[in-house]
Every structure is written in C-alpha cells, then in structure tokens.
Amino acid sequence: MKYIYDLHKTMLNQNLILVYEGEFTQEITKSVLAMAERNMDSFGEEGAVKRKVFNIMVECLQNITKHAVSYDSDSYGKNSAIFMIGKQKDEYVITSGNSILSEDVESMIKRLENINSLNKDQLKELYKEIIKRPGEGPAGLSPKGGAGLGFVDMARKSGNKLGFSFEKINDKLSFFSLKTTISRQIVKE
C-alpha cells in the first residue's frame, strides 16, 4: 500500500490539484470541469485567469473525448486517458494523455511544431483560416471534426508553446501527452 503514499507525495510535489484517469465521457468531462472550477474558486483565482484555464481545459477534454483511440490490453484499460491540472505560484499547468493511432503521430508532430513556431498574430491568422475553410484542404476539418483548431486555440489563450510527446504503446498505438501552461499574471491585450 506504499504506492498510495508515493502517489500522494508525487501529487503534492507536482502541486497537482486535480487528477482523473480512466474513461472520458461527456458526463465525466462535466464533472472534471466542475471540480476544477471549484478548486480555482477556493483559491480566489481572478476571473480572467479562471476563464483562460477553463477554456483550455475544455479544449483538452474535448480532444480526449473526440480523438482518443479505444483499445484493450493488459497494460491499459479501454478508453483510458488521463487529465491533470497543477497550480504553481505563477501558473497553472494542464496536462493530458490519451492513445492515438501510431500512423497519426508524424502528422500531429508537424501540426504541433507548426503551431509552436507561430507568434501571436500568426496564430490568430491560422485560427481565422481554419474557421473560414471547414472541410477544405490542409486547414479543413478531419473526419472526426477536428482541424487542429483546439491546439491553435490552446496556444493562443495560454500565450505559451504547447508541450507534447508520444510514447509507443504497441505497433498500432501511441500515447499522446500534451502540456499547456497558463500564466496566473493577467496581461492586458
């Protein structure tokens, strides 16, 4: 049972205020958002910061519910994904992880690297371009309804680069981890 204490210490050391691991449904997503909002309220967090964090959490959780690949194995549960939010002195850190098809890793790396290479104005232009051309060309919607718009929105709202990594699960699947950092300092735009 020492693992419980080790997990507790890890959560304290990483300043994690909410961790959920398991299957993600619309109902679970609503519950996770409500718990995170209550936590921020208990900290007396500023409204503008709460809105940014909440919007990025929604994008993250939608990404999991729309794009996670279901699988069964001895090591991973079906539809298993993870979502964490941590609070540091000057920032919130939102981290998520879910399985994806390994064949999609290369295109996601390119998409995320492109987003990370853009400045604030370029992100705004890319966002507008994606909105204007749903279903057309490289900026259009994917069969699952995504065009990378959520990633662009997370980068825009956080004002920071997106952290990401991919770990091979097996020949067909990889585990996609995404990290978004949101400053607790309000910047006037």
Which tens digits make up the pLDDT trace of 62-117?
Answer: 888 887 876 655 545 456 799 999 998 899 999 999 999 999 999 999 999 999 99
In a domain, 189, yes or no: no
Number of domains in the chain: 1
In a domain, 29, yes or no: yes
In a domain, 77, yes or no: yes
Q: Which residue has the higher pLDDT, 43 or 71?
A: 43
| pLDDT at residue 26, as a whole number | 86
Domain containing 155 equals: 2-183
pLDDT digit string, tens, across residues 160-187 = 999 999 999 888 899 999 999 999 886 5
Q: What is the pTM of this model?
A: 0.84
Q: How many helices (H) and strands (E) does the chain have?
A: 6, 5
- CATH number of the CATH domain containing 124: 3.30.565.10
In a domain, 188, yes or no: no
Mean pLDDT of the chain, nearest integer: 86
Tell me how far apart the alpha carbons of residues 87 and 134 are, in angstroms, rounded to a whole number: 36
Residue with tokens 């690297």: 113
Rama region for 33: left / alpha / beta (φ>0; ψ in -120 to 50; rest): alpha
Tell me how far apart the alpha carbons of residues 82 and 98 are, in angstroms, rounded to a whole number: 7
Residue with tokens 């065009």: 147
User: Of 3, 187, 181, 1, nearest to 92 (Cα)?
Assistant: 181
User: Of 160, 162, 161, nearest to 184 (Cα)?
Assistant: 160
In a domain, 168, yes or no: yes
> What are the beta bridge partners of residue 20?
83
In the predicted model, what is the mean pLDDT of residues 34-46?
90
- The answer to whether residues 23 and 31 touch, using CB atoms and an 8 Å cutoff, is no
- The answer to whether residues 99 and 174 touch, using CB atoms and an 8 Å cutoff, is yes
Task: Please classify residue 176 by burial: count the beta carbons closer than 10 Å to its beta carbon, then call 0-12 exposed, 13-18 middle and 19+ buried.
Answer: buried
| pLDDT at residue 24, as a whole number | 86
In a domain, 88, yes or no: yes
pLDDT digit string, tens, across residues 10-31 = 999 989 999 999 888 889 999 9
Rounded to the nearest 10 degrees, how much is the dihedral formed by the CA atoms of 65, 164, 183, 22? 30
